[in-house]
Amino acid sequence: MSAPHIIIYNSKVSSSEYIRRLFAIFMTDNWVWFVIPVVAIASLSFLNPKFIIVALMVVFIVIPMVLSLLYFNYALTNEARISIIEKDIELKVEGVFFKPLQDNMKACCYTWEYFKQAKFYQWGVVLQPAKQYRILILPSNAFENEKQRSECIAFIKHNILQ
């Protein structure tokens, strides 16, 4: 590697952006569990038309309640807090170091073994720990230029996939 470490200054993701990205990942993995009950109940409406009302109740009451429980389960994790606060990030061979720019918060570090995979999108980099649906987001707008972004991606691939 050309750089022993990479520093990303003033990285921050809004909380709505974080949840939108997290739910996109969650729904691509679990969409079938939301569709099957609705389709099954709606197909029972051929036997009795009252099942249409039950299917609508599932769509407009049950599914939003499940999503709100998921929101509180995943939005209150340490990874979500780290992603949405304003911070400097330093990627080293030892791991990922987060230094919050607010005085009342402590710095933290995650070793590369903590992450099971990394996903790279146009809007940013997602580091996924072994615990499912806990993600750390490094937004593309935090990088100074495209060269730093590509160096960061190469550095992450080298350290996570080794």
- Nearest CA to 18 out of 137, 151, 114, 162 is that of 137
Of 124, 122, 131, 94, nearest in space to 109 by CA: 94
Name the average pLDDT for the chain: 90
Residues 6 or more apart whose CB falls under 8 angstroms from that of 83 comprise 13, 18, 135, 136, 137
Last residue of a domain, one of 53, 75, 97: 75
Do 92 and 128 have their domain in common? Answer: yes
What does the pLDDT profile of the chain (162 residues) look like in tens digits? Answer: 445 778 888 888 999 999 999 999 999 999 999 999 999 999 999 999 999 999 999 999 999 999 999 999 988 898 999 999 999 999 999 999 999 988 788 889 999 999 999 999 999 999 999 888 899 999 998 998 999 999 999 999 998 876
Q: Are residues 93 and 155 in the same domain?
A: yes
User: Do 156 and 90 share a domain, yes or no?
Assistant: yes
Q: What is the CATH number of the domain that holds 96?
A: 2.30.29.30
Amino acid making up residue 123:
W
- The answer to whether residue 111 is domain-embedded is yes
Q: Are residues 68 and 92 in the same domain?
A: no
How many structural domains compose the chain? 2
pLDDT at residue 52, rounded to an integer:
94
Q: Does any domain span residue 155?
A: yes
Give me the phi and psi of 26, to 5 degrees please: -65, -45
